Amino acid sequence: MSSSNRWIAFITKLNRQTQEGRIRWKLIGEQPDLLNSDFQQYGPAYIAEADDDATVRMYKERTRRIADTDEEYWQDAVVLDIRTSDRGDFVRAPRTPGLDDLYEVVVYKANEVEGFLDRFLNKS
């Protein structure tokens, strides 16, 4: 299996297990190792234990870019970081198809939207 196919399979499995409730994500807010600047901003982070000794973290990154016409704009990207030990650093996974979909599922699950909908619809 090629490297890019392995990442796609990994993202797909994370998404499926998140939807099934086998992997639980929680909002952890801003991360001290992600420093905002005039050219880079980070959204709130979500974290989950993907394995006994591996942690995954997701967040949105905004990077200021300059177009050929010298106009500035912000480019958004979803980032997935992996840490395979408690003492190690997070390592950024490559930009992979399916990351945006996984991020939407993570935000939905971490914010317990399904439970809110159930409670809201069951009230008279």
Q: Which residue bears the tokens 């086998």? A: 22
* Each residue's pLDDT tens digit, 70-103: 899 888 999 999 998 877 888 999 999 999 999 9
Q: How far apart are CA 47 and CA 53, in angstroms?
A: 13
- The answer for 116, left when phi > 0, alpha when psi is -120 to 50, beta otherwise, is alpha
Contact 64, 40 (CB under 8 A): yes
Q: Which residue bears the tokens 């069951």? A: 122
Can you give the pTM of this predicted structure?
0.82
Lowest-confidence pick of 50-54, 55-59, 82-86: 50-54
Name the band, by pLDDT with cuts 50, 70 and 90, for residue 40.
confident
- Read off the amino acid at residue 67: A
